[in-house]
Chain A
């Protein structure tokens, strides 16, 4: 435990917590371990057994979706986050951002104590007592001067107890609580208000649909609730008795979501509304509408197919094709409202989509207004703009900033940063030194979700609980507690709050939920149950809605664009960084972006023709200029974008926010004008045209896969729907073999991966990093192809006769655990060998590093430790004690999470039985939102994995080499025109 002996921050308290030091930091090479200490508990905590993990249910707050999580705790350290199967939102899965929340918790660049610059030039650390006193004084001083209403609490969309507390607090102080969400989806609310009279964001049931038509809704990446909708999508799009759902995606660029569509329709930016109406019209015209279009015939008749096709650049036959399928394949669903396609006419677009759903008779079927998202309650963009103006006018004396980074996420043209300078006293509760926080006068670092009590209600039906899984890593304090203790000190607020800790407040507010819950028994049991299940979930009856006749009179327009440039500019939200929040987490930075496989930077997607026109190539730099700003970034030539469009990912380009985020890539938001959606007033992300010019700079585009095609190697295979329906035979591959086939007695661990379900989101990759202590190596090393990932998502662009002309295929490639492994015979020292349960054992401490195994590996999935990689403290606290931390000179690779296998077998042995199917999951399988990965025992013929590996679509990659892999892939199903 040398790391511990380094005596870091708060060492003593930490040691009290962690109890028996585990061998995490010992490395494969250490021959004679140094003198180790064992630190006993002073007072042993209840129910903690050193060496045995504890699991706590909580809630993820990395994005507004509010997935339920289970946090694994070893000796007082949170070491792994997994989805909570109880949660109705993500039901067990998680995304890469959720997995990486741990690197927020242990981030070495966190604010380690309160800071203030009240009586100093720059921010100085101070104790909590002082800090709270300083705040109290400010508040009292302000109230003394009789000024009220000059206090604003700017937070993200915090529902539940903390939200109420802040509201009450601000109420008592005569202040204002503004909830700012970067992606507030206001047009969605507004459109529903116009069409149905309900200003809410509904929940969708993609899994029930047979035909999904998305107008730029990137539900695999960031749209509303990605994990949930990815799961639903994989159910809808997966193979069920020889049939699959169909998914068509309309967007100017082929996003990750579009890459998973059967058809990507490249529409002229800002004309989605027209297209939707055109399709609706086509349906009505052809008499396929159950309600005959109701009172909308007149409206729709203004959008004849030929005219629409002309305006939208979508061929007529495509429009009529979609119309036909959309009305015939029931139930169908049209969704929209992706950030990147939110233009000045966003509301109209979404109304048009509602009309389309109405015309096809989908309302109430697959759209559920009974259970609506709490993000609906976020404040509007106007509130933000007015806040900024009053800040500029000096009407704000105290501004609290909680878990938002407006300096980064608001367009420069709004001048939030300058306005912030005019606020005499800015208090930030952020635990990270982001662009906003570094301008604050007082920083009261909040605990991360993992460290604090709280609750969050992402939708009406879900009251999710947040509980502390470990005591704070640094000298931070939960904001709820800060508010309560400060209120205790401010004169007039005395007695305002009966509770002294936020925990009490939380319980009190849950007493109301308990009162509302029927037959929940007494409160304590209710509370305990809720804690165990991660919250209280209720079923809400779905509400039937009807389209208001008002829409008939609505005018539909194309989006307006400012700027003289010739290219539409798309700034799209990233599934790795969301609005930039994720950029300080090395796992996310090193996770290859699905389409480009680029890491640690940003780039602009350029169509090949455009690239030719601009005279740039892959890796060159372009200078993009809009009236609001200029960014210079690297070119990625991509056939999945319109020639008249350029796009850059949001999330990079931080000027602060820690060593991993700072000065990396560019922030496209700087380019955006202060344009809003006409009807809802929400921010219009797609509203500018830019000019692009080649600049004299070019460097290696750092990515993890340099090829785009399969070179006829048939690695990511596909089967056409027609073949599938005909029924094909699973080709069991049998090469002549010199040796007799291997015998396995009880277990032969194997895996099946369904390529029809895999969406390439990479959460398996991040989960694998977290579970197996895989080192992140940084951009320079990835540039040398020295990334250590055990799973790589291979991405291939295949020729296709669909409208786009190509189809994207994803294939998660990890150690195939071959039954006939090329790596095994060539190792001179048996460091890699075949274990009696079919695993390719990799014994780090026996490895001498000849690297022959990697040379001979057919799949090239072995990674070598070129150096001894270090985790800057306290990131190393996350390391999994059950997995050896590798040191320089040894080979490593996917182990099928052997530590989990051994753990499961250990438990089974306690009860004198064999491990049963589905009893445990390996990390990638557990994380996968699409449920594309199945792991289990191939010797057990009843196990899910055995069944799947004999599926008609099953095949082994490069079977001709006769490696007899333990992993079977299920072919993707292509729905090309026959």
Chain B
């Protein structure tokens, strides 16, 4: 009788533990959303070496970094029509020329490109890029090596622990630490 329960309990327990791990990591195992246009950060930031601030130009003056306007895209793609070659975009083959054509199409119709947000935070969190950039942090420190990703996906699970640990490491002195650990710094 007791033996039976023992035998049963072992697999049950292990299943629960595994489930726990699964749900704990579920968030971070995100492959990034499907964008209206398969925009490759690997090509732009990686091969072409375009600095992040060129497109996300408000990153050092505003809480949110800003998304390039369609006009800005066309700034380059007026001239760059794109090679008529297939490209392996995270496993799916795309034709660069055709994709760039889509951008021009949006521009022609004077329509915005409905990008999907990759890193989003809930509304009760007031994060400001400005402060972090001015403090001299690299984009990669939170966003990972975007230059090597076609479709950008969250590099880290940006939960509160992520913020707090970084704040703890980087606080100049005790006063700043108390401030950086104060709830009202981000939640209001």
Contact = CB atoms under 8 A, between A and B. Distances in A.
B112 A40 contact: yes
Contact of A50 (B64, B114, B116, B123): B64
Contacts of B183: 833, 835, 841, 843, 846
Contacts of B28: none
B155 interface: no
B58 A40 contact: no
Given A38-B115, A745-B175, A841 B182 contact: yes
Interface stretch (A21-29, A295-303, A503-511): A21-29
Contact of A52 (B62, B114, B116, B117): B62
Contacts of B53: none
Interface in A816-836: 833, 835-836
Given A42-B70, A44-B71, A884 B188 contact: yes
Nearest to B113: A40
Interface string A25-39: 111101111011111
B122 A33 contact: yes
Interface in A872-929: 882-885, 895, 898-899, 902, 906, 909-910
Interface residues of B, number: 44
A20 interface: yes
Interface stretch (B7-15, B94-102, B125-133): B125-133
B51 interface: no
B85 interface: no
A15 B187 contact: no
B134 interface: yes
Contact of B61 (A52, A746, A843, A844): A52
Given A33-B120, A845-B122, A20 B179 contact: no
A515 interface: no
A43 B175 contact: no
A899 to B, nearest CB: 6
- Find the residue from B63, B68, B110, B125 having the highest chain A CB count within 10 A: B63
B67 interface: yes
A76 B78 CA distance: 28
A210 to B, nearest CB: 45
A698 B58 CA distance: 60
A906 B71 CA distance: 31
A12 interface: yes
B113 to A, nearest CB: 6
Contact of A15 (B106, B112, B179): B112
B123 A23 contact: yes
A972 to B, nearest CB: 33
Contacts of B117: 35-38
A25 B120 CA distance: 13
A598 B6 CA distance: 69
Nearest to B72: A44
B88 interface: no
Contacts, number: 137
B69 A884 contact: no
A845 B61 CA distance: 27
B146 to A, nearest CB: 16
B185 A902 contact: yes
Contacts of B27: 32
Contact of B66 (A27, A33, A50, A746): A50
B116 A39 contact: no
A16 interface: yes
Interface string B168-179: 000000010011
A41 interface: yes
B25 interface: no
Interface in B75-123: 106-107, 110-117, 120-123
Interface in B116-175: 116-117, 120-126, 128, 130-131, 134, 175
A51 B62 contact: yes
A20 B120 CA distance: 13
Contact of A40 (B110, B115, B126, B134): B115
A836 B122 contact: no
B106 to A, nearest CB: 8
B69 A835 contact: no
Nearest to B64: A51
Contacts of B62: 49-52
A35 B112 CA distance: 18
A867 B69 CA distance: 39
A26 B123 contact: yes
A35 B33 contact: yes
B184 interface: yes
Contacts of B63: 51-52
B187 A843 contact: yes
A44 B122 CA distance: 26
A55 to B, nearest CB: 16
A591 interface: no
A39 B70 CA distance: 10
A483 to B, nearest CB: 30
B110 to A, nearest CB: 5
A25 B33 CA distance: 21
Given A38-B117, A882-B188, 9 more contacts: A26-B124, A30-B122, A38-B67, A40-B68, A40-B69, A42-B71, A49-B58, A836-B179, A902-B126
Identify the 5 closest CB pairs spanning chains A and B, nearest first: A26-B123, A51-B62, A23-B123, A41-B69, A40-B67
26 contacts: A12-B111, A26-B124, A28-B124, A36-B116, A37-B116, A38-B116, A39-B114, A40-B70, A41-B70, A41-B71, A43-B69, A44-B69, A51-B58, A51-B62, A51-B64, A51-B66, A745-B175, A835-B184, A836-B182, A841-B182, A844-B187, A845-B187, A884-B124, A899-B126, A906-B130, A909-B131
